[in-house]
Structure 1
Amino acid sequence: MKLIIQEELRLYRRGREFSIRVNGCELMNSRPHGSEEALAELAARILQAEQRAHDASRCTKQF
């Protein structure tokens, strides 16, 4: 599979394990996790901060 940026994306399988690689560099795999949970927590913190900022801006509007 070729991506728009001309990088090669490949899915590998070894037994029950999977790996996604771009140009030979592993992006993620199905082995014991942690990185995806860290990424999800980071995204949740960013979304919460944006929601608080949005809520605060609604409270300061003049009626």
Structure 2
Amino acid sequence: MEHAIVVILFLGISWVGSFVVIGWLFTQPLATVFLVLVYQERISQMPPPSSGDHPIKQKIDSSAN
């Protein structure tokens, strides 16, 4: 659901800027910055991966047996 809201806001900001050519030059970077900020916020909320869950380590451990 969160993804849909972000996409709608991104497209809405881009759409508003498309009415005027020079407006697109300002709103497209604004929409992109908004998208990056949402991505950074989402990544910062994720827990750090534990060392036991690393897929490469699991592959090495399974090949050693």
Is TM > 0.5 for Structure 1 vs Structure 2? no
TM-score by length of 1: 0.41
Larger RCO (CA under 8 A, 6+ residues apart)? 2
**Greater strand proportion:** 1
